[in-house]
Amino acid sequence: MEEWVGYKWHEYITRQALGEFPEHAVHLKDEARNLGILFRALGGDPALSLVTAEPRHFRLRRRFLHKLAGTHRKFELAWRDDQNLRLPERVALFPSASLNRDLYLWLAALAASPEPEASDWLTGNQAMVQDVLARWPGLERIYQRLVSHSLQWRPHPDDLPPVEAAREDAIRQALIHPGSVTRIPGAGTDPWPVILWLYPSLNQRPANGQVIGDDNTQSSPGGLSKKRKRRQAERVEGFDRDQGLMIFRLESLFSWTEFIPVDRAGDDTEEEDAEAVADDMDMISVSNDRRETSSSIKFDLDLPSEENDDLRLGPGIHLPEWDWRSQSYREKFCCLQPMLARDAQPADLPEPLRRPAKRLQRQFSALKPLKQWQKRQVEGEELDLDACLEREVQNRQRQGAIDQKLFVRCQQSQRDLACLVLADVSLSTETYINNHQRVIDVARDGLQLLSEALQASRDPFALFAFSSRRRDHVRFHHIKGFDEAYTGTIRGRIQALEPGYYTRMGAAIRQATRMLQARHEHQKILLLLTDGKPNDLDLYEGRYGVEDTRMAVQEAHKAGLTPFCVTIDDEASEYLPYVFGSNHYVVIRDPAQLPLQLPKLYLNLTR
């Protein structure tokens, strides 16, 4: 009973102190799609990811109620950097849902404006507000409503000391009349947060700690990324958990934050509520407590020895890579190593695939070249009997000019196209999609069924797979070349594919583009199969990898190719439109259907 009363009291005090309207709250996850469309429609950088903003610490002059409830120390505010646009996870400051939603719309519009020339936070935000209102006058009414309600949320100057009151008057003036204030007076505390402005990025480390985490999120342009918050940390002395009976620090006995020894060197431990516990902690304590024990030794993604690895075909191919930060290529930056499976043995088509393979062969056999006889030709292999008979009639009747087209010619109808299939075999394909089947298993079945179908249609095709471990080792597995026949040897190479390493997608696409450029066919298709975003160990993560892959796709388009991506990644619709274009990718929602869907997609591409 006492616990329940205490909880209700805490809930009441906190609600009164926050001054929010939870019944009218609007969440970013519900508005992310519309905000992404608006942000890019107004000229925002299409490569930016929309993610939630982590709380910022402020040193404010708080009221007694704020101190009692422990509120108004951290605020989620909007900001952007080269990687992300960060918006509050939840807005409930205003007494209506439409106003809270308008705040999201205004922040997205403000973030879409160009970087101001002014370097300081005050004049820069005023310049951006003026630019937005000048370009989009329809937002004037929304902005004025937001200003009116946000001023009610801010402290009144009459309740502040003279120095802080002068600063608050300057900020209010800048909100009401953007561009009218050039500087704000200094004070001993931080100014009350301006929720209608953008704040600088959080790249600096706090004075009394450090930031744990990074800005590389697991999503990309077009939607809301998975939240990965930065967290405040302190470094403490390590302790030996085997000595004594105390497993926590005595000074934290009466606090909400317990000292929990977390071994950051090990990644195999699972804690269901770890993220929720971390969200509740104001400070995470980190100590250097790495002891070399047999249970913690890991050899993660180390390359196998030469005698146990696949065969290397040649010394390697040096390829460029696009650096979006400098807007230039890094020449000969990546080394792509062609590989051939060492232990692949000729194999037959697996029994479960034989029935669908026969059905696809019948369907695709209708596409193979057919002989067509063209009548009434000047030259040809045989005489056209009908034309000869008509000429003899005209000759005897002496009627007009006599037709000289007396032959028939045989011509084959050709599908003038070539297809290169590029499969991602990174370590993520080890994941199970059901109780008994992995992603790599589904991908192998898809490659085999598509190969059976293309063999029946007699379309020239090639098969390759790729993975990577940093820029100097991009593995490019040779499965089938254009000039090789599809035999049991090729099936064995497909079945020998195993997952490993990472996904340096740009280099693989560039090599596939070079190979397709050497073909003489009119239509050249580059079909990419993948299960996730481009990533690697050395900076090839987040926007860097996405931008390089996008540039490689653009290079393929300029070379006259048709690149198309097939993926089973649930979040692919957030970044693939930016990388491949809205009409050059498809997401297979049920990965188990990939083997049967792949030939159908090929038919749609080649019709």
**Phi, psi torsion values for 132, nearest 5 degrees:** -65, -45
Cβ contact 128:113 at 8 Å? yes
At 373, is the pLDDT very low, low, confident or very high (cuts 50, 70, 90)?
Answer: low
Q: Which residue has the higher pLDDT, 351 or 233?
A: 351
At 219, is the pLDDT very low, low, confident or very high (cuts 50, 70, 90)?
Answer: very low
Q: Is the dihedral angle over the CA atoms 535, 539, 542, 543 positive or is it negative?
A: negative
H/E stretch holding 562 reads: strand 561-567
At 309, is the pLDDT very low, low, confident or very high (cuts 50, 70, 90)?
Answer: confident
- Cα–Cα nearest to 70, from 16, 120, 28: 16
Summarised one tens digit per residue, pLDDT across range 26-68 is 999 888 888 988 998 888 888 888 888 888 888 877 777 777 7
What's residue 186's pLDDT?
80
- Least confidently predicted of 158-167, 207-216, 231-240, 531-540: 207-216
Average pLDDT of the chain is 80
Q: CA 396, CA 390: separation in Å to the nearest integer?
A: 10
Cβ contact 38:111 at 8 Å? no
At 550, is the pLDDT very low, low, confident or very high (cuts 50, 70, 90)?
Answer: very high
At 207, is the pLDDT very low, low, confident or very high (cuts 50, 70, 90)?
Answer: very low
Look at the block and give the residue holding tokens 């993520």: 428
Q: Which residue has the higher pLDDT, 420 or 304?
A: 420
- Least confidently predicted of 249-258, 444-453, 524-533: 249-258
Averaged pLDDT for residues 579-583: 89
Quick one: the chain helix, strand, coil %, rounded to 5? 40, 20, 45
Q: Could you give the percent of the chain with pLDDT greater than 90? A: 38
What's residue 146's pLDDT?
93
State the DSSP code for 265: T
Averaged pLDDT for residues 361-371: 73
If one counts every other C-beta atom within 10 angstroms of the C-beta of residue 137, the result is: 9
Averaged pLDDT for residues 342-362: 90
Amino acid symbol at 575: Y
Summarised one tens digit per residue, pLDDT across range 127-176 is 999 999 999 999 999 999 999 999 988 888 888 888 888 998 999 999 99
Q: Could you give the percent of the chain with pLDDT greater than 70? A: 78
Averaged pLDDT for residues 356-362: 90
CB-based contacts of 33: which residues, under 8 Å, 6+ apart? 223, 224
By DSSP bridging, strand 317-323 and strand 328-340 are: antiparallel
Summarised one tens digit per residue, pLDDT across range 419-454 is 999 999 999 999 888 777 899 999 999 999 999 999
Averaged pLDDT for residues 556-578: 89
Question: Is the per-residue pLDDT at 89 higher than 80?
Answer: yes
State the Cα angle at 68 between 63 and 69, rounded to 5°: 100
Q: CA 13, CA 78: separation in Å to the nearest integer?
A: 27
Q: CA 310, CA 475: separation in Å to the nearest integer?
A: 10
Q: Which domains does the chain have, with CATH numbers?
A: 2-211 (no CATH), 311-365+415-606 (3.40.50.410), 371-412 (no CATH)
